[in-house]
A and B are shown apart, each in its own frame.
Chain A
Amino acid sequence: MNLKLDQLDQIFVILNNWLLGYLPPVVRPLCSSILAIALILVTFALLFAITTVLERKGLGRIQNRFGPNRVGPCGFLQPIADGIKSLTKEDIVPNPADHVVHFLAPVLLVAAAFMAYAVLPIGRNMILVDMNAGVLYFFAIGSLMELAVFMAGWSSRSKYSLLGAMRAIAQMISYEVPLVLASIVVIMQSGSLSTVSIVNMQATYTGIWPHWFVFTPWGFAGFALFMIAATAESNRSPFDLPEGESEIIAGYYTEYSGFKFALFFLGEYIGMFATSAMAITLFLGGWSAPFSFLTWIPSYFWFFAKLLTIILTFIWVRGTLPRLRMDQLMNLAWEFMLPMTLLNLLTAGVWHFMPAGALRWLICGAMVVVPCILLSRGLKQRKKFQVRKYRFSE
């Protein structure tokens, strides 16, 4: 029985090895990579399609209406209809636009987004490239996505696009800092930049509880900060001012139509999945099961389950919150999140050097919670925002 479950867990590795057995040993590494790349492209594109339907149906249900429910059972073939629509639309490029850069921007976005998956462990022994500096590679590729956004806004030669691109760049650069700082605590704790070793460290259990980093005070704070920064990096609500529909129409991709628009959409969502997957790897234990008695379920199942949960939370937040304005966004990044991430570093250090026990929990918990409350109170007071009471005329 155990052997069979292990086989189920490693089914893709086994299939990979079986297929490669038919090829001469010279081309085996190359073909193995090609197979894995193809599988990643197909899986995450499919996940993108499912996410678009889930998002529309989820938002619809939150707003007391059906989402799409005509195409296919419960509307789940809607992405096919959307894909056909975007392929058959006329591709309009404005005359003054820089045609080469205008064409390359969505291509670069999608390429950069997919390149980030090279270092994400999707299951046990299932990673495309086991780099020693995997996390560093991931954040470097993330910066390429910002370049693509800027290319799009600049090449369109339109005021709306320029405004949108400026906002997007400012936002993405500002939120890179808390993003990276929040992940440094994990690197400190695990002592390695390799994603595989980070996950392996979290895949052990004491009793039934896993050693996920999110179950520690500094890990919890780091996870929260990472997720907020990830929302901002992916231009999702409440940080979607660059594509603020009600103000500057679509921001940096106003001048794109047809399939290029769909590519932008795709690139953004793939980037969102990649950042969520990195959060899962760093904080939520990657492909490990939440309880020790559940390890018989295959590892890739847990990975995708966690990913879907994060996606559903993104959709939930999008349906609830209004948009933050540009300066409020920036204030949040530089005045709140940056100090919090630095304090988190200190907390993680204290955690590492104290002996295990309740005292460690107490001190580190206090070090996380107290500054958060004090800082937010201080910031709020400076702005003097509160719920007001109104008087009535006599």
Chain B
Amino acid sequence: MVGKGIIKGMVETARNFLGSYVSKQRLTTIQYPEERAPQIEAARNFPFLVFDGTDAEQGLRCVACQICEKECPPKCIFIEKSKDKKPDATGKMQFYPATFNIDISVCMSCQICVEVCPFDSIKMDVVYDLSNNDRFAGLLLHKQQLAKSNEYYNTIHPTEAAAVDAHFAEERAKAAARVKAAAEAKLAAEAKAATDAKAKSETTLADTQAQPVGGGTR
């Protein structure tokens, strides 16, 4: 029949029109900024630095190894290593980044810096309303702006953060076990040395005590 295709098309649009008043599936708009889309866990936007504890300077995991700076494809990370060392979360003395800048107007969110970091110190954030009036300085994020706590990391990427925490806990347990074993070994060595010395002094005492029978008064 002539016009059948057109009629079918119009029925389809009418169905969508009426359906948009009844079902959410036919009206998929999310009214930003009153409503926000639910965050998908694996989403990534720009990197941030993780610190343990409450002090951003003290607990920063980054040791300024500069691997992320080398591997970044558009070369948007700028690190200056410090001259001195500070103790990290496990007490070991490490370097730290004196400056750590990321130019987010260049960053392409490829996540390679996260992949190559051996210390789990740089991760991907999910914040996207980062607009600024200053094109250059406003989009160059410094260490203070980049450092966010481990609790925050746990809220945005729970599974990933839990895996990282579990890994750290394991490392710490192993380290603690090593320290304990070393301490015990040291203790055992000291105890053994003490018993050896005691045994040696006892034998010498016994020798001196056993001697005057043949000597008499001289």
Contact = CB atoms under 8 A, between A and B. Distances in A.
Interface of A: 58, 61-66, 316-317, 319-321, 372-373, 376-377, 380
B10 interface: yes
Contacts of A65: 27-29
A373 B20 contact: no
B17 interface: yes
Contacts of B13: 62, 316, 319-320
Contacts of A62: 13, 16-17, 20
16 contacts: A61-B16, A61-B17, A64-B16, A64-B27, A64-B28, A64-B29, A65-B28, A65-B29, A66-B31, A316-B14, A316-B17, A320-B12, A320-B13, A321-B9, A376-B2, A377-B2
Interface in B70-89: none
Of A62, A319, A373, chain B has the most CB atoms within 10 Å of the CB of A62
Given A66-B29, A316-B13, A320-B10, A61 B2 contact: no
Nearest to A66: B29
A372 B2 contact: yes
Nearest to B27: A64
B21 interface: yes
Given A61-B20, A61-B21, A372-B2, A66 B27 contact: yes
A201 B42 CA distance: 71
Contacts of B10: 316-317, 320
Contacts of A66: 27, 29, 31
Interface residues on B, range: 10 to 19
A316 B16 CA distance: 11
B40 interface: no
B26 interface: yes
Nearest to B12: A320
B210 interface: no
B6 interface: yes
A266 to B, nearest CB: 26
Given A58-B17, A64-B16, A64-B29, 8 more contacts: A61-B20, A61-B27, A62-B13, A64-B28, A65-B29, A316-B10, A316-B13, A320-B13
Contact of B26 (A64, A317, A377): A64
Closest 9 CB pairs of A and B: A376-B2, A61-B20, A320-B13, A320-B9, A62-B17, A62-B13, A61-B17, A65-B29, A320-B10
A357 to B, nearest CB: 28
B17 A373 contact: no
Contacts, number: 43
A321 B2 CA distance: 15
Nearest to A336: B2
Given A64-B20, A65-B27, A373 B2 contact: yes
Contacts of B6: 320-321
Nearest to A58: B17
Nearest to A376: B2
Interface string B24-58: 00111101000000000000000000000000000
A157 B1 CA distance: 45
A175 to B, nearest CB: 18
Nearest to A69: B31
Nearest to B7: A320
Nearest to A372: B2
A380 B4 CA distance: 13
A328 to B, nearest CB: 14
Contacts of A376: 2
Nearest to B3: A376
Contacts of A319: 13, 17
Nearest to A319: B13
B12 to A, nearest CB: 8
Contacts of B21: 61
A377 B2 CA distance: 8
Contacts of B1: 373
A318 to B, nearest CB: 10
Among A58, A65, A372, A377, the most chain B Cβ lie within 10 Å of the Cβ of: A65
Nearest to A70: B31
A177 B26 CA distance: 42
A99 B10 CA distance: 44
A86 to B, nearest CB: 26
A166 to B, nearest CB: 28
Nearest to A379: B2
A237 to B, nearest CB: 12
A62 B13 CA distance: 6
A45 B58 CA distance: 69
A325 B2 CA distance: 19
A65 to B, nearest CB: 5
A320 B6 CA distance: 8
